[in-house]
Structure 1
Amino acid sequence: MSDNFDPDVSLEGEELSLQTVFPTCKSIRQYEGADDEGGRHRIVFEMFAGLRVLDLKGMNPQELTAESLAELVCARVECHFFVKYDFQVDADNRPLDEECLALFAQHNVPFNVWPYWREIVQSACGRMGLPRIVLPPHRLQKSATVAVSKGSSNSIGPASQHG
């Protein structure tokens, strides 16, 4: 929280603005042989999410520079999540495909992290004396269908885009 911001005094009659960073993957690490038998791989996704609370003091955010917006930040909540998944691998014990992992990190991991991120934002803002901020539930959006080739159980890829 900003040193010159007192939520009990500064928020009277003020309207706050929120800026958020949706949970985003920062790194993916693969570990072979995550169990004693060596038939599983452990994947660790490092995810980052952020939120900042701005006291715009009646100013239009579209007219402000990044530097002047940074001066209006009265509180921020940032979090790194390390999300572990264990995957069963084929008999060749090959690492999982990088493209598949990137798609998984973009779509599945944020969905799994979202409830924890919502709770962190709500509880951190309450502890800072800010008004209760409740992020909405994460809703799945239909962005692509998946085609599975009948010849191979490992051939999965986007078939078409839907809006």
Structure 2
Amino acid sequence: MMTENLQTAIDKLRIHDVYLKGSISQCANSFEPKYAPDIDKLEVQTKHLVKGAEVVKLDETLFLMRVFIELGARWVDNSITDEAKSIRAFIEAEFVAEYSMDEELEQACVDEYALKNASYHVWPYWRELLMNQCNRMYLPRYVLPTMQLAQNRRQIDENAIEDR
């Protein structure tokens, strides 16, 4: 559902940049995906966390909102009961989505946009990184679905359209 805070943020924010802040990928010491006979039996678990958002004043008329998003995938052997030992491989990344704005938004607008919309801009970069890293590590191909935020698209005033 579109709230007033979210609509205000959508109206005032312009995507400025999306970039990778850091990433890590690793296989467990004894795990060799290229030669693992039961690799297709591993379960994939994913992580998606909006870590935070900040607003930086660049000059008198320009502000920058930065949203930090952590994403990850791990391949788990469910036949191992110890959770730490069940993780056979993982890929994690932190992305930053930057938005420019001409006036500072209220914190409620920043928070709601960060939680509900920022991941939409980061998602294609995460999908590409994950698929490529799976190939490089000989992990099973894992394709994330495309992200769609139908509920959070800019609302168009029906009366404004009729007036044209």
User: Aligned to 1:142, what secondary structure does the other structure show?
Assistant: helix
Offset of residue 129 of structure 1: 0.7
The structure with the largest helix share of the pair is 2
In 1, Cα distance between equivalents of 2:96 and 2:152? 26
Offset of residue 69 of structure 1: 2.3
**Percent identity between the two aligned chains:** 28
Question: How high is the TM-score relative to the length of structure 2?
Answer: 0.70
In 1, Cα distance between equivalents of 2:39 and 2:96? 39
In 2, Cα distance between equivalents of 1:100 and 1:47? 17
User: Aligned to 2:151, what secondary structure does the other structure show?
Assistant: coil
Residue number in structure 1 paired with 2:63: 41
Question: What amino acid maps onto 1:128 in structure 2?
Answer: M
Question: How high is the TM-score relative to the length of structure 1?
Answer: 0.70
Offset of residue 108 of structure 1: 1.1
Question: Moved runs in structure 1, 4+ residues, more than 4 A?
Answer: 143-146
Contact 1:14 1:55 in 2 (8 A): no
Q: Please state if 1:130 is matched with 2:152.
A: no
Contact 2:33 2:39 in 1 (8 A): no
- The alpha-carbon distance between structure 1 residues 144 and 41, as it changes in their structure 2 partners (threshold 3 A), is closer
In 2, Cα distance between equivalents of 1:42 and 1:54? 39
Q: Please state if 1:114 is matched with 2:123.
A: yes
Offset of residue 87 of structure 1: 0.7
Residue number in structure 1 paired with 2:24: none
User: Whose relative contact order is higher, 1 or 2, with alpha carbons under 8 Å and at least 6 apart?
Assistant: 2
Residue number in structure 2 paired with 1:155: none
- The alpha-carbon distance between structure 1 residues 118 and 72, as it changes in their structure 2 partners (threshold 3 A), is same
Q: Please state if 1:27 is matched with 2:52.
A: yes
Residue number in structure 2 paired with 1:99: 108
Offset of residue 77 of structure 1: 0.8
Which shifted more, 136-145 or 47-56?
136-145
Root mean square deviation, CA, Å: 2.5
Offset of residue 145 of structure 1: 10
Give runs of aligned pairs for residues 8-19 of structure 1, distance below 5 A.
8-12=34-38, 14-19=40-45
Number of equivalenced pairs: 131
After superposition, give the CA deviation of every residue in 1:96-136 in whole Å (9 maximum; x if it has no partner).
Answer: 21111111001111111111111111011111111111111
User: Aligned to 1:136, what secondary structure does the other structure show?
Assistant: coil
Offset of residue 51 of structure 1: 1.0
Residue number in structure 2 paired with 1:83: 97
Task: Pick the aligned partner of 1:56 from 78, 83, 97.
Answer: 78
User: Aligned to 2:72, what secondary structure does the other structure show?
Assistant: strand
In 2, Cα distance between equivalents of 1:132 and 1:144? 31
User: Aligned to 1:127, what secondary structure does the other structure show?
Assistant: helix
